[in-house]
């Protein structure tokens, strides 16, 4: 399946429509429940999921959809499919710190070839398609995304989870062996901060799910970065793979040298 600028605009519009549903809930009292895996669930998750599924099915009929909150009917054997997190960072949503996103990715043969990451409370939209480019739209302005390298003598810019990390992250940071600065961010925005040149590395020595990472990985890859698993291979996706990702490191440039994850 080819994704050109027209298809990418369609995906951006779907994410923006879902974001309006999320912000309608965000502006009032937020009720939450706890799912079987102990993660939180809100009405916004469900409303956004319903909107995204409905519009994806209309715009891209016949393409399988796997979402955190639902799944297409029929056998899950497609090589090309949509991978969706209708509200990534529900904990940040409940904290009302703005750092939550809508994630929509298109997977083809294990690779995320297109991705949209919408941060509705921050008015930030990140989007990409392979061979088309990576972009950010904010306050009505669209800019091209490209990762940047560190200037000589500057500390390594590490972006880490605002809600996860703990001892494993602290142990990794202790191995850096050079000055670094640490910036916290929520949801898939950590990848996007690298894509727009505001960070160099995002280590993740903890659990994530495929829908948490795919869209932002697509953006980062098209901007010049890479996401590697603990074996140094590109982070891969598939309906036949475990939902949980292996530990990974996102880098602004493939040649950037950092300590491996344990």
- What global pTM score does this model have? 0.96
Report residue 231 as tokens.
Answer: 């074996």
Q: From CA 94, how far away is CA 102, in angstroms rounded?
A: 15
| Residues whose CB is less than 8 angstroms from the CB of residue 79 and which lie 6 or more positions away in sequence, other chains included | 108, 109
Q: From CA 97, how far away is CA 119, in angstroms rounded?
A: 11
Q: Residue 11, SS3?
A: helix
Report residue 124 as tokens.
Answer: 């930030």
For residue 233, what is the enclosing H or E element? Answer: none
Q: Residue 57, SS3?
A: helix
Q: Which of 53, 41, 61, 118 is nearest to 83 (CA)?
A: 53
Beta-strand pair 80-88/64-67:
parallel
Tens place of pLDDT per residue across the chain (262 aa)? 889 999 999 999 999 999 999 999 999 999 899 988 888 999 999 999 999 999 999 999 999 999 999 999 877 788 999 999 999 999 999 999 999 999 999 999 999 999 999 999 999 999 999 999 999 999 999 999 999 877 777 899 999 986 666 788 889 999 998 899 998 898 999 999 999 999 999 999 989 999 999 999 999 999 999 999 989 999 999 999 999 999 999 999 999 999 988 6
Domains of the chain are 5-144 (3.30.540.10), 156-251 (3.40.190.80)
Beta strand residue intervals within the chain, DSSP E: 32-34, 40-42, 64-67, 80-88, 101-108, 111-119, 124-129, 133-138, 141-144, 156-161, 180-185, 201-204, 226-229, 248-251
Beta-strand pair 80-88/248-251:
unpaired
Count other Cβ atoms within 10 Å, centred on residue 258: 19
């Amino acid at each position: 399946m080819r994704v050109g600028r027209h298809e990418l605009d369609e995906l951006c519009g779907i994410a923006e429509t879902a974001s309006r549903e999320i912000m309608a809930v965000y502006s009032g009292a937020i009720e939450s429940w706890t799912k079987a895996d102990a993660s939180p669930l809100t009405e916004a998750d469900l409303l956004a999921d319903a909107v995204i599924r409905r519009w994806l099915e209309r715009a891209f009929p016949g393409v399988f959809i796997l979402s955190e909150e639902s799944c297409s009917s029929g056998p899950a054997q497609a090589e090309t499919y949509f991978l969706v997190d209708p509200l990534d960072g529900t904990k940040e949503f409940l904290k009302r710190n703005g750092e939550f996103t809508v994630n929509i990715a298109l997977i083809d043969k294990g690779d995320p070839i297109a991705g949209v990451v919408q941060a509705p409370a921050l008015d930030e939209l990140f989007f990409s398609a392979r061979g088309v480019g990576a972009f950010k739209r904010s306050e009505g302005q669209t800019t091209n995304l490209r990762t940047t390298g560190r200037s000589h003598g500057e500390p390594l810019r590490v972006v880490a989870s605002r809600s996860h990390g703990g001892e494993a992250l602290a142990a990794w940071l202790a191995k850096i062996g050079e000055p670094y600065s640490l910036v916290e961010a929520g949801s898939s925005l950590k990848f996007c901060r690298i894509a727009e040149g505001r960070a160099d590395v995002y280590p993740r020595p903890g659990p994530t799910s495929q829908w948490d990472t795919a869209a932002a990985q697509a953006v980062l890859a098209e901007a010049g970065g890479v996401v590697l698993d603990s074996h140094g291979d590109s982070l891969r996706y598939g309906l036949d793979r475990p939902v949980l990702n292996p530990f990974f490191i996102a880098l602004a440039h493939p040649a950037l040298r950092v300590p491996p994850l344990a």
